Amino acid sequence: MSNPVIEARGVSKRFGGVAALEDVSVRVFPGEVLAIVGENGAGKSTLMKLLAGIHSPDAGELLLDGQAVRFTGVPDALAAGIVLIHQELNLAENLSIAANLFLGRESGLLLNRRRENQDTQRLLQRVGLAVAAQRIVGSLAPGQKQLVEIARALSRQARVILFDEPTSSLTQRETDRLYEVIDDLRRQGVAVLYISHRLAEVHRLADRVCVLRDGKNAGELARHEISHDAMVRRMVGRDLKQLHPRKHPPSQNAAVRLQVQELSRAGCPHRVSFSLRAGEIVGLAGLVGAGRTELAETLFGIRPMTGGEVWLDGRRLTPRSPRQAMQAGLALVPEDRRLHGLILPFSIRDNLALPNYDRLHWLGFLRWGAVGRLVAELMNRLQVRAASPLQPVGQLSGGNQQKVVLGKWLAREPSVLLLDEPTRGVDVGARSEIYALMDELAAAGTAILMISSDMEEVLGMSDRVLVMHEGRLAGQLDRSALSEEAIMRLATGGSNDGSTAGRAADGVTALRSDYQR
């Protein structure tokens, strides 16, 4: 076999204190499709960015045609023929296809449009896109834009093309078209690196699979070894330490607090049904983009609900605004706390009081005494570490910020608490405090839905786990059937009846028949 076009040898990369990649090696040969798979945060995207010159490795080296190279930026990688096609496409929507292909590389002082158009047309033919080179990119469908990106990569004499989740916004037909183009690239001797959460896709395309786990190599599969089970087995299997013992396991016959039936939302064809009982912490697992945040935001009235029914404590709720959802007894700790959870320039006091003002006023006038008491009580209960209640929350650490986001809902004593990545960017100490608080709230009868991409958290805190895959609920796992492998199988679109799922299968229940009213 020939030499690898590009190779990463023992590369490591840290961001702040967190190791994103540790001693990872990977090599790609010409005319080969190498798929990189792994869980959320396994280091796939970081590896791509190292190869594309966006980041440079802290340790280890990159080799191009067997020669050590150092990319100081994207232009270096481009010059070497390595092109990254981002998840979100990087095209100038207002320009024509031809202008996009030649953007930044226009030759001479005046544009030679005729030549650019001719060259573009030839490239578009190569990727099988039958539109005029003069078409404005903004008027193309997502799949067509993807092909334009590939044409642009080809126009740069790309020898290595890196795809980061290329099919996440494509239709089935567009995806099929992309497969054909990638097959073509392979025949033409281009090396392709392919990141995907969809293991079926990997199975269809890859000549070889490289599995990453926690930023490290976790095995390689040759063409004939590639199977859904083999991949999942290598993606999971960390030692999981007990995070926070659930001191108060839920009662089996507690009342149903939230009942969601056939819920649908704009932009998603699937309907979702599930229910939460008082005192339960239910994990909502799935890969990034599976629609978990969207589900929570629909329940909280942020996104419009287009069908189905929601019952909260036996009362019908049609959430139209966060205010309405909040008054009905829902609370949401959003995924992006700096954007949605907090008003950063506001003080701790003002953030904590904001959703509670309806109980802290007399004829509209604020009762400062009551505000002060509430804030002092919440800060004490949550152990918020700050100089004073008047300190702007923007100055607090991530953990303390998250406590404030949680704290502002506590006084309302919500029936159902929706937590979206409750401990993202939170240090270990604050993390266990947040877990203790969740346990305490559940014990007091709150039903908690916890969206989390952190497998340890899902396994450690959940009484039950719902798994989403591409907008639908792929399955549900009881505590007895809970394992990382079972979750990943459902999250990657696998079925419940795989050979290694024997242990899990008993606890997996069909969701429709569950909790019939």
Partner 1 sequence: MLLTVLLLYGLIISDERAQTLSYHSILLGRLGFYGILTLGAGVLILAGGIDLSIGSVVGLSAVLFGVLMSKGVAPAAAMLSVILLGTLIGLMHGLLVTGLRLQPFLVTLCGLFIYRGIARYISERQQGIPDEALWLKELLIGGEGEGARNQVLILLVLAVLIGLILHFTKWGRYLFALGANEEAARYAGVPTARYKIFSYILCSTLAALGGVLLLLEAGSVNPTTGGSLLELYAITGAVLGGCSLRGGEGSVPGMILGAAVLPLIRSASSFRNIDSNVEYAVIGGALLLGTIGDELLKRRIKG
Contacting positions for partner 1 (CB under 8 A): 300, 302, 321-323, 325-327, 332, 334, 339-346, 350, 353-355, 357-358, 360-361, 364-366, 408
Beta-strand ranges (E) seen in 175-255 are 191-195, 208-213, 216-222
Buried/exposed 284-314: b ≥16 CB within 10 Å, e otherwise? bbbbebbbbbbbbbbbbbbbebeebebbbbe
Pick between residue 245 and residue 345 the one whose CB is nearest to partner 1.
Answer: 345
Min. distance of Cβ 387 from partner 1 in angstroms? 14
Give whole-number Cα distances, 507 to 72, 151, 156, 285, 484, in Å.
Answer: 51, 48, 52, 16, 14
Q: What DSSP element (H or E) covers 263?
A: strand 256-265
Tokens of 38: 């792994």
Which positions ≥6 away from 368 have C-beta within 8 Å? none
Tokens of 300: 């909280």
Q: How many CA atoms lie within 13 A of 52 on its CB side?
A: 19
Min. distance of Cβ 158 from partner 1 in angstroms? 39
Pick between residue 136 and residue 344 the one whose CB is nearest to partner 1.
Answer: 344
Min. distance of Cβ 466 from partner 1 in angstroms? 23
d(CA 57, CA 26): 14
CA dihedral 209, 211, 217, 219 (to 10 degrees): -70
Min. distance of Cβ 265 from partner 1 in angstroms? 17
Min. distance of Cβ 490 from partner 1 in angstroms? 29
d(CA 426, CA 483): 24
Pick between residue 145 and residue 408 the one whose CB is nearest to partner 1.
Answer: 408
Residue 315, Cβ neighbours under 10 Å: how many? 10
Q: Which residues pair with 402 in a beta bridge?
A: none
Min. distance of Cβ 273 from partner 1 in angstroms? 25
Pick between residue 225 and residue 358 the one whose CB is nearest to partner 1.
Answer: 358
Pick between residue 193 and residue 418 the one whose CB is nearest to partner 1.
Answer: 418
Pick between residue 273 and residue 395 the one whose CB is nearest to partner 1.
Answer: 395
Pick between residue 200 and residue 343 the one whose CB is nearest to partner 1.
Answer: 343
Tokens 């590009």: give the residue.
Answer: 6
Min. distance of Cβ 332 from partner 1 in angstroms? 7
Min. distance of Cβ 139 from partner 1 in angstroms? 23
Compute the 3-state secondary structure of the chain and give helix, strand, coil in percent, each to the nearest 5: 35, 25, 35
Pick between residue 83 and residue 396 the one whose CB is nearest to partner 1.
Answer: 396
DSSP summary character for residue 347: B
Min. distance of Cβ 404 from partner 1 in angstroms? 11
Give whole-number Cα distances, 70 to 77, 86, 160, 345, in Å.
Answer: 9, 21, 16, 41
Pick between residue 283 and residue 334 the one whose CB is nearest to partner 1.
Answer: 334
Min. distance of Cβ 355 from partner 1 in angstroms? 5
Pick between residue 15 and residue 357 the one whose CB is nearest to partner 1.
Answer: 357
Query: In angstroms, how far is CA 509 from the centroid of its own chain?
Result: 25
Min. distance of Cβ 40 from partner 1 in angstroms? 23
With contact defined as beta carbons under 8 Å apart, do 124 and 153 qualify? no
DSSP summary character for residue 356: G
CA pseudo-torsion sign 369, 372, 376, 378: positive
Transcribe 455-511 into DSSP letters: HHHHHHH-SEEEEEETTEEEEEEEGGG--HHHHHHHHTT--TT-GGGHHHHTTEE-S
Pick between residue 55 and residue 337 the one whose CB is nearest to partner 1.
Answer: 337
Min. distance of Cβ 495 from partner 1 in angstroms? 37
